[in-house]
Amino acid sequence: MWLRLMLIAFVANGLGPFGLKILQERGLLEPYRLPYLLFWYLGALPLAALAFLRKPGRLSAPEVLIGGAMGCCSLGGQLATAVALESLPGHVVFAITTGGNLFIVAAAGIFLFRERVGRYGLAGIGLGIVSLLLLGTS
Amino acid sequence: MFAALAAFSFLGIFAKIADLKNCRPGAIYTLLFVWSCVLAVFAALVSNQPLGRTPGLVVEVALPFGVCAAVAGLAFQTGIRYGKIATSWLIINLSAAIPTLGSILIYREPVSAKKIMALCLIAGSVFLLWKDKLEDQQRAARQADRKGA
């Protein structure tokens, strides 16, 4: 089940940002970045709402707090990356944000949430960080 | 740059906390997208980016790719119930291989040795994560056998 869901997430998450590339090729990204993000989130909203309506019920306090915090992190991360790219080269920004966030979340998983990651998992995480650093600087 | 790093890292950590608190993926992602829409409207107004005069093409591109983002978010949030955040978050980030491949195949972007090596390493990393999951399942099966005996 995990692998199936992660493969779906892998493909869908990879396709998600490709719209930025299409707009960039047509010179529409810089003047319309925020409207694009707004419509991108609006496009995502009905499907999430549909998933919510399949299991309806009162929103719990953790759902409200965590959902709100994740919304701030999602848009905040996108905007902060755009601002950073105005003053720093792309390979530095992507290396730090991608490699760094992978390292932090993996460390949180192991040390904070006490997840048991085996030798294959650790090797996979290491290889993944290296590959994304390479991709970010290529 | 460090604000972006913190924001993306907290996104992964909050996803794990949401799972531990038994939050419904649909509820979490509905609220995430609602708040992001509200903040995006606010940010667009502050930075004078014209929402009302957005070209049709921008909307036509944004909506279907937004649907992809929702599929990814819901699958990821449901998936971490069956796995670990340390490895699941990596898979989500490794999906950067897809736009890279798309740019090469569709926009004929130049293929450098670095890009090829990165894509090969991504494939290797996904394979190792799959092996890690397999090892977890074998360990769980052995423990269940021992309990049964």
Q: What is the 3-state secondary structure (H, E, C) of chain A?
A: CHHHHHHHHHHHHHHCCHHHHHHHHCCCCCCCHHHHHHHHHHHHHHHHHHHHHHCCCCCCHHHHHHHHHHHHHHHHHHHHHHHHHHHCCHHHHHHHHHHHHHHHHHHHHHHHCCCCCCHHHHHHHHHHHHHHHHHHHC
> How many CA atoms lie within 13 Å of B106's alpha carbon, on the beta-carbon side?
11
With an 8 Å Cβ cutoff, are B89 and A47 in contact?
no
How much is the mean pLDDT over chain A?
83
| pLDDT tens per residue, range B62-82 | 899 999 889 999 999 998 888
Q: CA Rg, chain B, in Å?
A: 20
Does the distance separating the beta carbons of B63 and A42 come in below 8 Å? Answer: yes
**Pairwise CB contact (< 8 Å): A104 & B112:** no
* Residue from A50, A66, A119, A133 to probe the interface with B (highest B Cβ count within 10 Å): A66
A91 CA: distance to closest CA in chain B (Å): 12
Instruction: Using CA coordinates, name the residue in chain A closest to B80.
Output: A2
In whole angstroms, give the CA distance from residue A17 to residue B125.
21
Residue A82 or residue B113, greater confidence:
B113
* Inter-chain touch B7–A67, beta carbons under 8 Å: no
Here the ipTM equals 0.82
- Does B127 score more than 90 pLDDT? no
- Give the pLDDT confidence of A28-39 residue by residue, as tens digits: 777 888 888 899
The arithmetic mean of pLDDT across residues A10-25, rounded, is 79
| Cα dihedral: B45, B49, B51, B54 (round 10) | 180
Other CB atoms within a 10 A radius of the CB of residue B46 amount to 9
* pLDDT tens digit sequence for B26-66: 999 999 999 999 998 888 888 877 777 888 888 888 899 99
In the prediction, which pLDDT does A90 show?
Answer: 66
CB-CB under 8 Å, B32 with A71: yes
Question: How much is the pLDDT for B64?
Answer: 92
Per-residue pLDDT reduced to its tens digit, A52-71: 998 878 888 998 999 999 99
Q: Give A109's contacts in chain B (Cβ within 8 Å).
A: 16, 84-87, 89
